[in-house]
Chains A and B, each alone.
Chain A
Amino acid sequence: MQPLDGIQEYSRCVCDQIRWKKAHSLISEEVENHLVDQRDANIADGMDEISATHQAILQMGDPVMIGTQLDRTHRPRPQWGMILVAMSLVIVGLIIRMFVTYEGNIWRMLTQLISSAVGLGLMAVAYFSDFTLIGKYPKTIYFSIMALSVAALSISPIINGRPYYAGFMPLLFPLGFVAIVYIVRNKGYWGIILCGIAFLLPACFALFVPAVSGFLLFTVSELFIITIAISKNWFGVKKLHGYLLIFIPTAAAIFLAGGMFVGRYGLKRLQVALNPSIDPAGGGYQSIVVRNLLNASKLFGTGDMPAVYKSLRFPLPEIDTNYILTYLIFKLGWIAFIIIMSVLLFFIIKGFMQCFRQKSSLGLFVSVSIMLTFTLQVIGYVITNLGFQIAAPICLPLLSYGKIATSINLFLIGIMLSVFRTGDIVKDKYQDRIRKDNFITWSDGKLIISFGRK
């Protein structure tokens, strides 16, 4: 047997004892490296290669015993707690809508049941899938999401003047964006610029729909993700320069967009969101109704309906879609809000804690992008339901009405739980760090701006 064959045979024997096959490559690489180091040391001590290899293997110990011990350490981490919380939210959402808001609309209930079942199926598929495919085929993932969005835009029915399906596509954009972030590792300032370009395409799509909430969700997620990437030295640039490269154009874009496109309308919208009484019959109407209902709500039980709304069944439209929290606070009391928010907060805190435990940057980026998508939807929905409406909320994840939103959210949660389940054995591909050049240098009478492109 050739010396190298002996080393590989040994590591194979170690791996044979480890039931989790995905962990094999990681372990065999380390074991083989160790044996090669030991063999080289033995050769340096005067042994021939065959004896040196044999001795190295003997020094390592019994492969079956090592493999058995490593088998105890290397197991997938099932995410039953998080799965249970996600499923409970779906079921509670269905129950709330069935008993509190639907009042006999069987067809609407049936379609929700089916979409929830489809969503849970998607979550299961994603949970058992290999999330590292995002790192292997990042461009395919990114452009598939864009293609899906364009398809959704073209086949979508127009509801309230907007293509309905396309409004949910921004939920997938942060995931597509992290795929691009992942491939520009150590690409310097050019990598950050490429991320900016990768941001523009979906952002323009969201503005074109228009999906204001989706645009805000994607923009905030993108800023968080890129900030985390820079803080982890992902691009191989000076952190301060990296942050400036992100936040100066962002601030400029906000200023320009504010001045050129949004103008007085945007400013008024913001003013109305903060103080709806300045436009009580227009943009501020629903926020005023929400605030009136909340003021009339109790801690426990149904609130006292203000006299002005007594003739109406309920003074807000699309309760189960946009105002389920306001409705529950008024009908059941603030206690319902406290309970729901506690469960959502538990899910969010536990999710983020698991995100930042990830060993690989891919695992971190993917899981953070999904947790941000989830959290920002919750924040957007809650502020609307507390009487501060800047843009129509996308949904309250898993709880409010929404076939597409529920399915997408469950699919994303499945991917995130797949990261938590198998992230321990995922590692980023090794790359030599690039030499840190100055961004701007003066040489031979020339001003050189280096984007760090290699």
Chain B
Amino acid sequence: MAVDKVLLTGSTTMLILKLLEDKDMYGYQMIEELSKKSNDTFNLKAGTLYPILHGLENEGMVSSYDDNADHARIRKYYRLTSKGKGLLLDKQAEWTAYSKAVNRVLRGGASYATA
């Protein structure tokens, strides 16, 4: 099921960092992997991905290197740095708090939502 793009926008950075937590990937691979892992729910555009990736690299959250892992062509792989791992934890905590709050409201504000 495709979701409203606005919903994806706020969590894109977290999803990208989460993908890189498991293994180093290149841009196209990330889009494919995200789509696969989310049952085609998240179809990230390359035009959205690269500015975010380059921004994260500038901030030291990810680092990049060239590799020819599949012997097809040399690609730019991204790797999560320790600083990026810290950001991922923060983003995950933020997301958990946010989703709990949304769920609480959707359930009419009942206190058992957080129990």
Q: Which residues of A contact B74 (CB under 8 A)?
A: 430
Q: With a CB–CB cut-off of 8 A, which chain A residues contact B55?
A: 73
Contact partners of A62 in chain B: CB under 8 A:
47
Q: Is the CB of B66 within 8 A of A430?
A: yes
Inside 8 A of A34's CB, which chain B residues have their CB?
A: 27-28, 46, 50
Binds B, one of A64-72, A195-203, A299-307: A64-72
Interface size class of B (residues with CB under 8 A): 20 to 34
Q: What 0/1 readout, one digit per residue, does chain B (70-81) give for beta carbons within 8 Å of chain A?
A: 000111100000
Candidates B26, B46, B65; contact of A59 at CB < 8 Å: B46
Q: Which residues of B contact A41 (CB under 8 A)?
A: 32
Q: How far is the CA of A87 from the CA of B104 in the complex (A)?
A: 59
- Chain B residues 14-54 with CB under 8 Å of chain A are 26-28, 32, 45-48, 50-51, 54
Q: Is A103 an interface residue (CB 8 A)?
A: no
The reply to whether A430 and B68 form a contact with Cβ atoms under 8 Å apart is yes
Interface presence of B94 (CB below 8 A): no
Q: Is A21 part of the binding interface, using a Cβ–Cβ cutoff of 8 Å?
A: no
**Given that A59-B45, A60-B46, A66-B51 are known contacts, is A33 also in contact with B76, CB under 8 Å in the complex?**
yes
Contact B76 A424 (CB under 8 A): no
The answer to whether A61 touches B51 (Cβ under 8 A) is no
Interface-located stretch among B56-64, B84-92, B95-103, B107-115: B56-64
Q: Are B28 and A38 in contact (CB under 8 A)?
A: yes
Instruction: Report the bound CA distance from A53 to B89 in whole Å.
Output: 38
Whether the pair A69, B27 counts as a contact (CB closer than 8 A) is: no
**Alpha-carbon distance between A30 and B26 when the two chains are bound, in angstroms:** 9
Question: Contact: A427 with B54, CB < 8 Å?
Answer: no
- Find the B residue at minimum CB distance from A68: B51
Question: Within the complex, which residue of A38, A66, A72, A359 is in contact with B50, where a contact is CB–CB below 8 Å?
Answer: A66
Q: Which residues of A contact B64 (CB under 8 A)?
A: 359, 427
Q: Which residue of chain B has the shortest Cβ distance to A61 in the bound complex?
A: B47
Q: In the complex the two chains form, is B27's CB within 8 Å of A427's CB?
A: no
Residues of B within 8 A of A60 (CB): 45-47
A444 interfacial by beta-carbon distance below 8 Å:
no
A262-B50 Cα distance, complex, nearest whole Å: 60
Asked if A73 contacts B51 (CB within 8 A), the reply is: yes
A41 to B29, CA, bound (A): 11
In the bound assembly, the distance between CA atoms of A396 and B28 in angstroms comes to 52
Q: How far, in Å, is B95 (CB) from chain A's closest CB?
A: 23
Chain A residues with CB below 8 A from B50, complex form? 30-31, 34, 66, 70
Partner among A36, A65, A74, A427 whose Cβ is within 8 Å of the Cβ of B47: A65
| Contact (Cβ within 8 A) B46 A38 | yes
- A70 and B51 contact, CB distance less than 8 A: yes
Selected A-B contacts with CB under 8 Å, 5 pairs: A37-B28, A66-B46, A66-B47, A430-B66, A432-B68
Instruction: Write the residues of chain A forming the contact surface with B, with a CB cutoff of 8 angstroms.
Output: 29-31, 33-34, 36-38, 41, 59-63, 65-66, 69-70, 72-74, 357, 359, 424, 427-428, 430, 432
